Structure 1
Amino acid sequence: MTRDISDFNNNFYSAEKLYTSEKFLRALKRLNPNLDSKSIVDRATKKPVDEVLNALDNLDEFIIDDIQKFSDIFLHSPGIEIERANLTDWKEEPEILSKLKSEELKNFFKAVNSIWLDLYKKFDSNTLYPGCVSSHLPMKHSFIVPGGRFIEMYYWDTYWTIEGLLVCDMFKTAREMIENFIHFIDLYGFIPNGSRIYYLNRSQPPYFSQIVFKYFEYTQNSQLLSQDDKLEIKNFVLNEALVYMIKEYEFWMKEKIVEIEIDDHVYRLNIFKANTNRPRPESYFEDINTASGLSSEKEKEILYQHLASGAESGHDFTSRWFRDPMKIHTIETSDIIPVDLNAILYKTELIISKLSYLKGNLDIAKLFKRNSIERRLSINKVLWSEQNKMWTDFNLKTKTSQSEHFYLSNLSPLWFGLRPPNHISELDLINMHIKKPIEEYNGLPYSFVYSNEQWDFPNVWAPYQLSLTEFLHKHDKKLSLQLASKFFNSLFTGWKMNNTFFEKYNALNSGKRGAGGEYEVQSGFGWTNGVALKLIEIFQDKILDY
């Protein structure tokens, strides 16, 4: 039953054809109306893929008995090829524990740390016979998954996952996650949304350079690594990872770039734009339902592209992308220049410049420094709203700022190293927009719009709590601790009540899971765990103060 990666590559296009087949999705859903779209496309085949495709071509998708036979003969249950892996660098008591005094906090830390053992997976091709396929992409190494229905590796989640791995002294696992991403960039030219074949038409917020730089800085400052280890890591970052950081950057600058003219000057900024105009396979029926009120096929294709682009943004979904904040079918993601994406790429340019300088490649260092300066000017010219005293997304169709509602991403340039223009201080923005909500809620919600979308009120997301906490820690330590402690208390309360961690939390009720969106709230949860561990590292026992 052994297979190698070449067997998958030989069947790649057949696998892609199967897992993006609308007939395949419709038939399995007809067999069981309660099936989640993702659980359909996460099924490996029992027979060689060519046999499966032939049977699918001949299948009458309206005869339930025939569909049942097709499913029984040709398909495994979801996730059979994804197995728990052996986490070789995990230890029960990482170094940070010696700095904690509270036994309750130590026990909490140990509980979070132990979850890595359950979330560490491998794609085991040996579970499949030759010629059989899975929608999971072959990986160079094992990987951490978010948890719940998400049994594959996700792009931007990994930044916060690695934050937690580093706190737990798991340098080897963090390195292997980075090498998995290098493998993807080498194969596809970019990092897909996640490690599934149906995610290859889109990416996610491009955090790769920040992931590598975080790993580089953390390990170089570690007291647990030898000088030889640190030198090997430095050589890896400067001589291998940096090449792929530039390659990924070039993908975004080629595939997802727009130009806008203001006052006779052309500014170049980036957008989210998925390479598809079909329903997302993993959310097929949700997308079909969203498009049901549209009359023409062209309108539906535009909608599907905007939905997939919303998924590429990582914020799937939020009223931020909608013309009407209450109606998802008014989504227009790719018509919007997002503040956060361009702030992320600004940080990317700075990192590539700095690492190129360390390598001694001064021409590349100067080029990316110039790129960062140009982007900073573009962000502050196109995306800064003087009236609202914040950065705002820009709508390419209406040529106007999206300033009707506040989203945390409006302040994201702050934690990526941009200063507001016109002599306004960073703390002025904080005090104007979020100081009161920090004091009022159990963590800061991403928005204050009640839309029933998961990235809107009252949901609180761990990544934003950490990004904002780390920024505030440099400018207002008291407010930073208040934000961190209130969110941490929600994690802690939820853990004591449910013995688990959630993908998102409720700003109004400490410890309560969030709600809304296309699927049930998932437990696990990779980036939440990483943020919890990082907050403990930053504040230690003070995290319990509020």
Structure 2
Amino acid sequence: MAYFAPFPPICLFHLIFIFQLLGPVFCATVYLKKQYGENEFRIESWGKTNCSLNGIDIVQLGIGRTCEDWPDLATIFCDGKILEAVNYWGERMLFMRDSKHFVDRPLLKDAKKVVEEFKTLFDVTEWNKFMVSEMSEAQVDKLAKFVQQNFGMADGALIEHVPEDWVESPQKFKEIKDKKLRKWATELNKMWKELSKKMPENMDNNGNQRHSLIYLSNPFFVSGGRFREFRYWDCYWMARGLIASGMTKSVKNMCRNFAEMINRFGFVPAGGRIYYNKRSQPPFLTFLVYDYFASTGDIEFLKEIMPTLEKELNFWQTNRSVQIKVNGKTKTFYQYRADTKLPRPEAFCQDVELVKEIADPMEKAKIWHEIASASESGWDFSSRWIRKDETDTEKPWKLKNLMTTKIVPVDLNAIICGNFEKMAQMYLQIGNKVKSREYHAKYQLFLEDFKSLFYKKEHGIWYDFNFESGTPNEAYYGSAAVPLFTHCYDTIDLSAAVRIFDRMGHLDDDKKLISPFGVSTSQINSSQQWDFPNIFPSTQLMLIEGLRKSGTKRMKDKAKELAQNWVSANFELFNSKNCGAKVWEKITANEGLPGRGGEYNAQINVGTAIGVLLDTLVTYGGELNLGKIDGSNCEQKDLEIEPRKFPNEVAVIYEPFALLTDAELKKLDGVFPPIYGPQNQQLKTLETLNIETQYSNDNDLPRQFDARKKWPGCADIISTITDQGLCGCCWAVASASTLTDRICIARLKKGQKTSHYGGSYISAQFTCEFTPGSDGCKVVGPAWLGNFFIKKQYLGQIMKCTMDASWKTKRPNCKKECRIGWHQTVENEMVDTPTVIGHECWIGWHFGNEQKMMREIMVNGSITASYAVYDDFQITMRSPNSRKEENGHSVKIIGWGEEKKGNEMVKYWLIVNSRGKGWGMNGLFKMRRGVNEVDIEGDVCFGTPAIFL
């Protein structure tokens, strides 16, 4: 968490810098550098990103295009000058220079109009003569304005969807014996609702679209994090968890969507974007259908989809096969070999910069082909695919030395092998014995071929094969466990699993491979994400399941042990202080912390991790128990001191606000000073308050205090994190939350039963919409509630209203302004509606005293504080030295503490914000205490609830 220096407050506010396309962006809710976070992007230099193709016309070179089916969109999202220009001048156009963010943004106009507008704006007559690197400053300004006017927000295209088969407490969760694990499974189950999406209503399967999404007829699940679309093999691991959650209809929709794409393209693209259409991912659809049928017995669907499964298998046999001589005989195997030699649009800058020292365009294209092929593997990237540079002892694993198409991977061939076996079984289920015998024969034949190429008898393990050198790659990778998972070995040989696990133990002399948190993806620390120290859910599950189904008690016990370690490590991380309430895409084998390395930071709440954890919890539900694991403690990964200079430091961007206009951002936060309260009411000062004298001596105040710990009966309420969305009602959220905390605490003091639900007593939505002076999203402030909650407020019948408003009372009709972006309707928020607020409700003051604020919190609970927001935190076009006050923001203070930073002991307030759990540290942050930082100790409000027995 960040701390804030006392001078100058306008420069060291707790918020940080956000990019906007053309002008400054207000950064009212962006946090300083987090150690981990889904929105963490690193900036090390400023200016153009220098990822231009420098006049190379890829089409003329005969390399081909990536989006022929979408010619109008291709110039924008796949391989054209618009894509190149935006990436080259990325400081102004890319959200934190993430190429993927741009190609995920929807168009605001038809693609043809956007392309023609670009050509007119820059007088383009021939694309190959338009040199992106030679654009003038004025042209770059035009380009920035062009992007701003023609592209929406990356997260704005898809429609949120609650799956029809989602239930809060799935039946299978009853099999989870440990109560804490069962409760955790319920929390994980809720995340399916966040990942479930539907296509925009204005899109169909005829190419009528304004974005890079591939049309899907049925609801689907995005992978999560920066992946705003489905990812093919991610979906299989998600489906395992969906079945554990009893959501088989959702799995069927997944199968139908993939079948649509196979019938359209001949294969399943790597992801649900048009720029993935030249590469697939490991073909798990057959396994997906098999698992669905095993869970439902849906024989009619099986009959319907079997021909489509054959089509996909034929694609791999036709387009990804390779002939290799083994023991004098030519045999067919399979490899990852993408049908593109272009830079990946979602990683355009990285791919172009990687080969900038290479002059020959065709040599560049060869490397891009290897990159795309490695991406097709799902293992992007790993030392598996890289030719080691023996001359470089510091960085021997360079991506420009990728050799993916020279590798015959053991895992892909094991998956194809498993496809043959599953096809044979499913054809038998639908009564087609001829087809069943055909695929069983293919399976038996391929078993022998597979063993002859990949199995090293002396080691008792399977290795990738390098057909350039004609030798196996004798290094352990998680892919070695895939044959166990897909049954691509003679299952009569019960010792196969024993041999592979013993080999892992033999390789693990330095204890880097098998850890208390799981089994690392490899032993090689290459800095790529699919290498040491990372543990991925998919490889973990395949190893666990492969051992569990091996038939030997020793390996079944080992599978249970690995499952226990994996679940415990993730549970500990989920419940840790600074990394908690998140499921991480990958964790480290050496520390049990969020994974690292690769092209992007570890993503959170991704479907693969959720799915694998739920599947494991249900599979081993009656056997798992929690034990403390040393090491998975993120509390030591504190935030760094905030940057002292603008803008030459690492920053964290809160993406939802990256593309908002100045006007929209100004509405987002704003608090009028208390002097502007209704009827200019006389507000009491701190000195007039009759605070209990329990802590009359400042020396009695502890160095650390957290209201959640003092009043555990109200901890759930105090911990509630609200997301105000795009509504400027921070004052209402903070005020309602503070008063709710204090009602709960007052009830506890009187021995009354309290609710544990954060919306039980005072509704933030009600407060925002009906406080006098507020017309919905209009900025007022906590002090305005004084005359409102002094009186009893009777809520009328809760009912739906038209449009986006949620309910009506006898007071003014529903307000529409605030509904956008709010995550809960009032129906959800007001579960325990009845409340009566006592007479001296809200009291405001200026220039409060630190110790008196601390005593008030310690005796009666949370308080509301408002502070100043300055335009120093808007970047580009404005001076960082400005002292112009823009707006204010209200938050809830629940405690305080001290922490050592360098040689300084820093005092801080513990604060709850209203930006959801994705902001800051799970929705909380710290601000320097005792120096009236940005006036946070000079504008404080709280109320005294009247509680009657």
TM-score by length of 2: 0.53
Matched with 2:598 is 517
Contact (CA 8 Å) 1:420, 1:426: kept in 2 or not?
A: no
Q: Does 1:86 align with 2:162?
A: yes
1:408-440 Cα shifts (integer Å, max 9, x gaps) = 212321221133799763212212214866753
| 2:97 match: secondary structure | coil
2:488 alignment partner in structure 1? 418
Cα distance in 1 for partners of 2:118, 2:275 equals 18
Q: Tell which deviates more after alignment, 80-89 or 517-526.
A: 80-89
Task: Give the one of 136, 140, 157 matched to 2:213.
Answer: 136
**In 2 relative to 1, CA 103–344 (structure 1 residues): closer, same or farther, beyond 3 Å?**
same
Partner of residue 383 from structure 2, selected from 315, 319, 333? 319
Deviation at 1:132, TM superposition (A): 5.0
Q: Structure 2 residue aligned with 1:18, among 65, 69, 76?
A: 76
Call closer, same or farther: CA 1:357–1:102 in 2, change over 3 Å: closer
Q: How many Å apart are 1:532 and its aligned residue?
A: 0.8
Assess, with a 3 A threshold, how the Cα gap between structure 1 residues 10 and 440 changes in structure 2: closer, same or farther.
closer
Contact 2:521 2:531 in 1 (8 A): yes
| Structure 1 residue ranges without an equivalent (≥5) | 1-8, 221-232
Which of the numbers 75, 78, 90 marks the counterpart of 2:151?
Answer: 75
Q: Alignment partner of 1:542: what SS?
A: coil
Which residue does 2:318 correspond to in 1? 254
* Aligned residue among 460, 464, 480 for 2:539: 464
Q: In the alignment, is the contact (CA less than 8 A) between 2:76 and 2:83 conserved in 1?
A: no
Partner of 1:398: 469
Pick the aligned partner of 1:348 from 404, 409, 419: 419
Tell me, yes or no, if structure 1 residue 198 matches structure 2 residue 279: no
**1:505 pairs with one of 582, 587, 601:** 587
Gaps of 5+ in 2: 1-66, 123-131, 389-395, 628-949
2:75 and 2:82 in contact (8 A); partners too:
no
Preserved contact between residue 178 and residue 624 of structure 2 (Cα < 8 Å): no
Contact 2:293 2:299 in 1 (8 A): yes
Do residues 295 (structure 1) and 359 (structure 2) align? yes
Q: For the residues of structure 1 that align with 2:171 and 2:380, how far apart are their CA atoms?
A: 37
Tell me which residue corresponds to 1:224.
Answer: none
- SS of corresponding position for 2:538: helix
* Match of residue 530, structure 1, among 611, 615, 638: 611
Check 1:513–1:411 CA distance in 2 against 1; reply closer, same or farther (3 A cut).
same
Contact 1:85 1:121 in 2 (8 A): yes
Per the alignment, residue 430 of structure 2 pairs with 359
**Which residue identity does 2:448 align to in structure 1?**
L
Residue 492 of structure 1 corresponds to 571
Mapped to 1, the partners of 2:377 and 2:449 lie a distance apart of 20
Deviation above 6 Å: which 4+ runs of structure 1? 420-423
Letter in 2 for 1:523: I
What is the Cα deviation at residue 136 of structure 1? 0.3
CA distance in 2: counterparts of 1:44 and 1:489, whole angstroms: 40
**How far apart are 1:442 and its partner, in Å?**
0.8
1:210-359 aligned within 5 A: 210-220=287-297, 233-237=298-302, 239-324=303-388, 326-359=397-430
Are 1:445 and 2:520 an aligned pair? yes
Which residue in 1 is equivalent to 2:455?
Answer: 384
Query: What is aligned with 1:407?
Result: 477
Higher helix share: 1
Q: Is the 8 A contact 2:514 2:520 kept in 1?
A: no
- Indicate conservation of the 8 Å contact 1:85/1:142, yes or no: yes
Distance 1:106 1:473 in 2: 22
- Find the residue that maps to 2:575 and give its secondary structure: helix
| Alpha-carbon offset, residue 218 of structure 1 | 1.6
- Post-superposition Cα deviations, 1:372-418, rounded to whole Å, max 9, x if no partner, equal 12211111112222343321111222222122x21121232122113
Aligned AA (1:450): N
In structure 2, what is the Cα distance between the partners aligned to 1:482 and 1:398? 38
Amino acid of the structure 2 residue aligned with 1:209: T
Amino acid at match of 2:526: S
1:13, distance to aligned residue in structure 2 (A): 2.5
The 3 A distance-change label for structure 1 pair 471 and 132 is: closer
* 2:455 equivalent to 1:455: no
What SS class does the counterpart of residue 308 from structure 2 fall into?
helix
Corresponding letter in the other structure for 2:299: K
Which protein is bigger by CA-based radius of gyration?
A: 2
Alignment correspondent of 1:230: none
SS class of match (1:79)? helix
Q: Is the 8 A contact 1:79 1:151 kept in 2?
A: yes
> 8 Å contact 1:258–1:271 — kept in the other structure?
yes
- The one-letter amino acid paired with 2:610 is N
Return the letter of the residue paired with 2:596. Answer: A
The alignment status of 1:176 with 2:253, answered yes or no, reads yes
Contact 1:47 1:132 in 2 (8 A): no
- Pairwise CA distance, 1:357: 2.1
Cα separation, 2, equivalents of 1:537 and 1:374: 35
Deviation of 1:35 after TM superposition, in Å, equals 2.3
Query: Is the 1:137–1:197 contact (alpha carbons within 8 Å) kept by the matching residues of 2?
Result: yes
By how many angstroms is 1:27 displaced?
2.1
Percent of aligned pairs sharing the same letter: 28
Aligned-partner residue type, residue 617 of structure 2: I
Report the CA distance between 1:11 and its aligned residue.
Answer: 8.2
- If the length of structure 1 is used for normalisation, what is the TM-score? 0.91
Tell me which of 182, 189, 199 is aligned to 1:123: 199
Specify the code of the residue in structure 2 equivalent to 1:272.
Y
Letter in 2 for 1:459: N
Q: Which one is further off, 432-441 or 145-154?
A: 432-441
Maintained 8 Å contact 2:481/2:542: no
The letter of the residue matching 2:404 is T
Q: Distance in 2 between matches of 1:372 and 1:118?
A: 39
Q: Does 1:433 align with 2:504?
A: yes
* Cα distance in 1, alignment partners of residues 121 and 387 from structure 2: 41
In the alignment, the residues of structure 2 paired with residue 308 and residue 162 of structure 1 have an alpha-carbon distance, to the nearest angstrom, of 26
Return the letter of the residue paired with 1:409.
Answer: S
Q: Hey, what's the Cα distance between the residues in 2 that align with 1:400 and 1:37?
A: 37
Count of residue correspondences: 522
State the distance in 1 between where 2:82 and 2:607 align.
31
CA distance in 2, matches of 1:350, 1:273: 24
Answer whether contact 1:80 1:127 (CA < 8 A) is retained.
no
Partner-residue secondary structure (3-state), 2:155: coil
Q: Provide Cα deviations, 1:351-373, integer angstroms capped at 9, x if missing partner.
A: 11111222232222222122112
Deviations 1:426-468 (A, max 9, x none): 2122122148667534111110100110000000001111111
Shift of 1:208: 0.5
Query: Is the contact made by 1:45 and 1:133 (CA closer than 8 Å) also made in structure 2?
Result: yes
1:160 to 226, 231, 237: 237
CA distance, structure 2, for counterparts of residue 11 and residue 393 of structure 1 = 35
Where does residue 716 of structure 2 map in the other structure? Answer: none
- Structure 1 residues 369 and 335, CA gap change in structure 2 (3 angstroms): same
Change (3 A) 1:322 1:422: farther
More deviation, 420-429/457-466: 420-429
Deviations 1:230-270 (A, max 9, x none): xxx21111x21111110100000000011012333111001
Q: What is aligned with 2:285?
A: 208
The AA in structure 2 aligned to 1:54 is E
Residue aligned with 1:372, SS: helix
- Aligned-residue offset at 1:149: 0.8
Task: Tell me the distance in 2 between the aligned counterparts of 1:93 and 1:267.
Answer: 50
Deviations 1:120-149 (A, max 9, x none): 111214389x96511001111111112111
Cα distance change of structure 1 residues 40 and 111 upon mapping to structure 2, 3 Å threshold = same
